[in-house]
Amino acid sequence: MDSAAPSIRLPAGDPMLPRLFRIERVKKELSDTFTMEITPADGGPFHFRPGQFNMLSAFGVGEVPISISGDPGAPDVLVHTTRVVGSVTAAICALKPGDTIGVRGPFGSHWPVEDARGADVVFVAGGIGLAPLRPAIYQIMADREHYGNVVIFYGSRTPEDLLYRHELQRWRGRFDMSTEIIVDRATGHWGGRVGVVTKLIRGGGFDRHHAVAFVCGPEVMMRFAVETLGECGVTGDRVYLSMERNMKCALGFCGHCQYGPSFVCRDGPVYRYDAIERLFNVWEV
């Protein structure tokens, strides 16, 4: 022992430093939500697993966690869908093609897409919760023959708030998946369903004993979705949720995203429900 100081290994790369990406395309999805495609300034692909997130930086404004919403099978372009909810997301939204954005990631756990092979897969999405699920949908549809029924249940506030509208229409037109959409309220021009997303779950379309569910949306919605899935026979060991907490560093150093004994940035955001069941119904954890 040369010194009492521990041999903390110095990381190869500094995990605090953002990698620079170029904005390629920006598409307005909804009045407050946009999707951007970005590519690394230093070239090379960006590999990630469905459900993971990145920390995105706007120069001098700050950094925010945003889930990855593109196709893991197309790693040359990184896709993020972001809702403007504060100064950083507003600054990111203001970026134009050719501008630069800082990216750290990918971070966090992922939807267990490979492990679900052989099973029916039920996606339950609420609001912009469809964005973190989309990479998993892409990956499963690219590997379609290895799965049973693929069902998407998507709940939204109004028909005007539906994310990825054209893609939803394409998915609805496919014979090898079922896409059910429901909105909280609508006016007469909407020909689809009105009600809560849990009603779609009750409608079935999957083998309750062998289905795996991936759920993402507001915490309230997930609470009721999990309950309904349980009533329909999809037990907590086959239900996965994406949790949201305040994430500042994504490395487990800042402490903000703690959820009980776990760090959402490292142990989440995707959790198997039975692992967090004990805390899920406790207030203000």
Partner 1 sequence: MHVEGLDRLLKEHPFFAGFDAATLELLAGCAANERFAAGDFIARAQSRADKFFVIRHGSVALEIRVPGRDPLIVETLHEGEILGWSWIVPPYTWSYDARAVTLTRAVSLDATCLRDKLEADHSLGYELFKRVMPVVASRLASARLRLVDMYAPPAGTAGRQR
Partner 2 sequence: MVEPDRKDPPIMAIDRDGLDALIQCLAHDGYQVIGPRVENSAVVLGPVAGVADLPKGWTDEQAGGHYRLVADGRGEDGALFGFTLAAQGWKRYLHPPRTRLWQAHREGRSWRVEAEDAAPRYAFLGVRACELSAIHVLDRVFDNGQFTDPGYAKRRGGTFIVAVNCGRAAATCFCASMATGPKAEAGFDLALTELSDSASARFVVEVGSRAGAAVLTGIPHGPATAADIAAAERAVANATAQMQRAAGGREMVDDAAGVLSRNVEHPQWDKVAARCLGCGNCTAVCPTCFCTSMEDTTDLSGDVAERWRRWDSCFTLDFSYIHGGSVRRATASRYRQWITHKLSYWHEQFGTSGCVGCGRCITWCPVGIDITEEARTLAESEGRT
Residue 220 interacts, among partner 1, partner 2, none and using kind-specific CB cut-offs from 5 to 8 Å, with: partner 1
Shorter beta-carbon distance to partner 1: residue 198 or 262 = 198
d(CA 113, CA 143): 10
Task: Choose the contact partner of 43 out of partner 1, partner 2, none; CB within 5 to 8 A by kind.
Answer: none
Question: By CB under 8 A, is residue 252 in contact with partner 2?
Answer: yes
2 binds partner 2 (CB under 8 A): yes
| Maximum alpha-carbon separation in the chain | 78
Contacts of residue 20, Cβ cutoff 8 Å, sequence gap at least 6: 40, 41, 42, 100, 101, 102, 103
Q: Which of residues 10-69 bind partner 2 (CB under 8 A)?
A: 10-11, 14-18, 20, 22, 41, 57, 59-63
State which of residues 24, 39, 100, 149 lies at the interface with partner 2 (CB under 8 A).
Answer: 100
Nearer to partner 2, 174 or 256 (CB): 256
For partner 2, give the closer residue by CB, 60 or 173: 60
H or E element that contains 120:
strand 120-126
Angle between helices 273-280 and 219-231 (to 10 degrees): 120
Q: Tell me if 220 contacts partner 2 by CB under 8 A.
A: no
Least spacing, CB of residue 180 vs partner 1, in Å: 11
Do 22 and 41 contact (CB within 8 A), yes or no?
A: yes
Distance from C-alpha of 37 to C-alpha of 133, rounded to nearest angstrom = 17
Per CB under 8 A, the list member of 102, 148, 204, 233 interacting with partner 2 is 102
Q: Which of 71, 245, 272, 275 binds partner 2 (CB under 8 A)?
A: 245
Tokens of 53: 């997130």
Are the CB atoms for 106 and 49 separated by under 8 Å?
yes
Tokens of 78: 């990184």
Task: Pick the stretch among 4-12, 67-75, 129-137, 171-179 that binds partner 2 (CB under 8 A).
Answer: 4-12
Choice between 61 and 77, CB closer to partner 1? 61
Rounded Cα gap, residues 177 and 139, in angstroms? 13
Would you tell me how many other CB atoms lie within 10 Å of the CB of residue 233?
A: 14
Question: What is the binding site for partner 2 (CB under 8 A)?
Answer: 1-11, 14-18, 20, 22, 41, 57, 59-63, 83, 85-86, 98-100, 102, 244-246, 248-249, 251-256, 258, 260-263, 266, 279, 282-285
